[in-house]
Amino acid sequence: MLDPSETCNTAIDAKNSKVVLQKSLKSSIGCSGIGLHSGKKVTMSLNPSHTNTGIVFRRTDVNIENQIIPARWDCVVDARLATTIGNDAGVCVSTIEHLMAAFAGCGIDNAIVNLDGPEVPIMDGSAAPFIFLMECAGIIEQSEPRRAIKLEKSIKVTDGNKYILACPDQAFSVDFEIDFEETPVAKQKLSMRLINGTFKTEISRARTFGFVHEVDALREAGLALGGSLDNAVVISGDKILNGDGLRYDDEFVRHKILDCVGDLYLSGSPIIGQINALRPGHALNNKFLHSLFQDESAWSYVRMDSALVPGAAHSWDQELSLATA
């Protein structure tokens, strides 16, 4: 397990650091796909937005005045197998976590996501296609400085035998463990600092996964209607049904980290701290954010200063030095 008191691997030279500016997309870009749980085809576009607006979703198919849903932790209305946000008018968008993880990994603070359906397209079940779209659209710096949420003390949330323990650290780091009865998954552990582009290279391609014996129950509940071997790793007993196998030997725990990165980006800013998790899920991720923001002594906003890292100019997950905002 990573030591919460451990310093960054590479010291930051304050003379060579600079204020990190907010970022948005350079141009609009779109795609179409199937919703994992709704099974409905949806067309989505990612669009530039002004500074300090954050990530917002807009349902273009809803013929009412209030089509906008802010991507915020306090707008989460459902966390069963996916993260769903909604507004006061009852307009919702589900399965936003992979797209939010891509926004986090690309360091995008401000964007408008237009959708003509109730769910973000699942694509291949990972965040990689969304990162590809954002890089194709281009990423631009804006005029306002970026801020992060710095953990000031440890905070823990639990749900039965599951927990998230967040501790102060000098960068964003994770220490995750999952435990399933199924042999291909079993116990998997992974610890890493998400710095120098490691989200894109080590986490973003990890796909969502599910178990054959759960399919009927999920579909009776109106979930996983669009699931297939094209957009999820499917496990039957001790076998992986996908013909191309796994992308990583520990793809399952990597996907749990991906989900957590996306869910935590609903805080509105990158979190600087270490996230230790045992059997995490969307509901627990959101419970953590509720607990965090209820305790004003547990966190503070800081200005993000960063030394330039070759090849990672558009990535937030790099070595950071912090200055009080």
* 282 is a catalytic site residue: yes
Which residue is it, tokens 């069963």? Answer: 80
Alpha helices per DSSP H over 124-176: 128-137
Evaluate whether 155 touches 292 at the Cβ level (below 8 Å).
yes
pLDDT tens-digit readout, 223-253: 778 888 999 999 998 899 999 999 999 999 9
Task: List domains and CATH numbers for the chain.
Answer: 14-20+146-324 (3.30.1700.10), 22-144 (3.30.230.20)
Query: Which residues fall within 8 angstroms of residue 63, CB to CB, at 6 or more apart?
Result: none
The single residue of 37, 98, 255, 282 carrying the catalytic annotation is 282
pLDDT tens track for 282-305: 999 999 999 999 999 999 999 987
Span 170-206, pLDDT tens digits: 899 999 999 988 778 889 999 999 987 899 999 999 9
The answer to whether 280 touches 179, Cβ cutoff 8 Å, is no
Q: Where are the alpha helices (DSSP H) in the chain?
A: 97-106, 128-137, 198, 215-220, 251-264, 282-294
Taking the model in full, what pTM does it have?
Answer: 0.89
Scored b (16 or more CB within 10 A) or e, 182-217 reads: bebbeebebebbbbbbbbbebbbbbbbbbbeeeeee
Rounded to the nearest 10 degrees, the angle between the axes of helix 97-106 and helix 128-137 is: 50
